[in-house]
Amino acid sequence: MSESEFGVKAEKLDAADELAGVRAQFVLDAVSDHAADAAGVYLDGNSLGALPAAVPGRVDDVVRRQWGELRIRSWDESGWWTAPERIGDRIAPLVGAAPGQIVVGDSTSVNVFKAVVGAVRLARLDGADGRDEIVVDATTFPTDGYIAESAARMTGCTLRPVTPAEVPGVLGDRTAAVLLNHVDYRTGRLHDLPSLTAAVHAAGAYVVWDLCHSAGALPVGLDAHGVDLAVGCTYKYLNGGPGAPAYLYVRRDLQDRFDSPLPGWTSHADPFGMRPDYEPAAGALRGRVGTPDILSMLALEAALEVWDGVPIESVRAKSLALTDFFLECVAAYVPPGRVESLTPVAHEERGSQVALRCEDAGDVMRRLIERGVVGDFRHPDVLRFGFTPLYVGFADVERAARVLAETLRGSGGGG
Ligand SMILES: Cc1ncc(COP(=O)(O)O)c(C=O)c1O
C-alpha cells in the first residue's frame, strides 16, 4: 500500500472509531502547533498520560476553596479523609475488581514493598514456615527488583530472579511470593496473568501483579482470576498526572490476614484514638499508611472522570487496532533492517505499546521529538511508542510511522 492509501485507511478507521470523541476531553497540541502535517503526536502516555481538561479547574477548587476557605473542615466536608478508598473504588472496575479492595496512596515502589512483604507473611500464616523464596521477574522494571531484594532480606527469604516464562518451572514448596509484571515496560509483552496466577496458587504461594503498563489499557480481571495482591501507578494510562499516587489491591478474602509492613496511623481501626497499640482497620483500608497526598489524589479523581461510559473492552479493541496499524505502516515505510520489533505479533501477548530496537535509538528519538512525534528511548537501543486509545487516533499513527521512516532515511523532510 502507498502512503496515500494508508492515509485513506487511517481516515476510515478514525471515522469508525467509537472512542474518537473522548479525545476532546484531553489537552493536546493542535495540529497547527507544529510544522508540516507531522504534528503533535503524543505516543508517550505509557510514561506520562496527557492532561484531562477537567483537572486544572478541579485542582483550582481544591486549592482555593477546599484548602483556602474550608481549611481543616475539608477532611470531612470535602471528603479528603476517605479519598484513598473512594478513588480506589473508581479504579476498581477498570482492573476488574469489585469495590472495597483498592486503596490509593504512596508510590508504586512503596506499594510493591507492602504487597511483597504482605504476601510472604500470608504464606507463613498458612503454617508453611519452610517457604523462604521470593520469585521475581528478572526482566522487571528495576524498582520492583530492588524492593523485592530488600523484602527478601527482611523476611529471611532468598530472591529467585527468573524470566516470566521460567516461573512455572521454579515454583514449589519453598515459594512464598511471586512478583510479576502484567506488561513488560520495555518490550510491551503481555504476560499470561490467568495461567501464571493459577500456577502460583497450585504451588501454595501468593502472587503480586504490577499493573503499571496494563491498567487503563486492557482488561485485567483481578477478581475473575483470583489474583491475591496487585499494585499499579496512575500516571500512565490513567492520566493522573506527574507523581500521581499509586494503588494497592488486596483480595477481599485475604484482607483480614493482610499484615502490612507499614502500619501507619491512617490504617488504624481507630485513627483518632491515638492509641499506642496498633489495631488494623477492617478491609482494604489496612493498606493505607500516612496522611493522603490530597492535591495529587484529587487531581487523579478528576482525571478518572474521562472513563465515564468508556468500557475497557472497547479500549482494548482500539489499542490492538492502533498497534496493528502502526506495525503495518512501519513495515511498509521504514527501510528494511533499520528497526526490529520487540513487541509480540500475537494479540494475546501484546500490551498497548510498540518497542522497536534501533541501533541509534537515542538519536532517532531526539529527532522524532523535534518533529513533534513524542515517544521515548530506553537504554540501550529501544524506541518505545505508547498508544493511549482515549486520545490517539489512526491518522496520528500513520503520521508517526511516516516521520519515523523519514528520520531513519535521514531525509528529515516533510511529505
Ligand atoms: C512496571 C513499573 N513498576 C513501577 C514503576 C515506577 O514506580 P514508582 O511509581 O514508584 O515510581 C514503573 C514506572 O514506570 C513501572 O513501569
Q: What is the DSSP string of 255-320?
A: GGG---S---GGGBSSGGG--SS--BPSGGGGG--SS--HHHHHHHHHHGGGGTT--HHHHHHHHH
Enumerate the active-site residues: 141, 210, 235-236, 384
Taking the model in full, what pTM does it have?
0.96
- Distance, in Å, from the CA atom of 81 to the CA atom of 72, rounded to the nearest integer, reads 11
Looking at residue 130, its pLDDT comes to 86
The residue with greater pLDDT, 102 or 34, is: 102
* Phi then psi dihedrals of residue 335, to 5 deg: -55, 135
Q: Could you report the per-residue pLDDT of 374-405, keeping only the tens digit for each?
A: 999 999 999 999 999 999 999 999 999 999 99
Q: Closest ligand 1 atom to the C-alpha of 235? A: 9
Cβ–ligand 1 distance for 260 under 6 Å, the answer no
Cα of 237 to ligand 1 centre, how many Å?
A: 13
- Provide mean pLDDT across the span 301-311: 97
pLDDT of 129 > 80? The answer is: no
- Distance, in Å, from the CA atom of 364 to the CA atom of 410, rounded to the nearest integer, reads 10
- Distance, in Å, from the CA atom of 341 to the CA atom of 357, rounded to the nearest integer, reads 6
Cβ–ligand 1 distance for 143 under 6 Å, the answer yes
Cβ–ligand 1 distance for 210 under 6 Å, the answer yes
Q: From atom 9 of ligand 1, which residue's Cα is the shortest distance away?
A: 108
Q: Closest ligand 1 atom to the C-alpha of 236? A: 14
Cβ–ligand 1 distance for 144 under 6 Å, the answer yes
pLDDT band for position 34 (cuts 50, 70, 90): very low
Cα of 141 to ligand 1 centre, how many Å?
A: 7
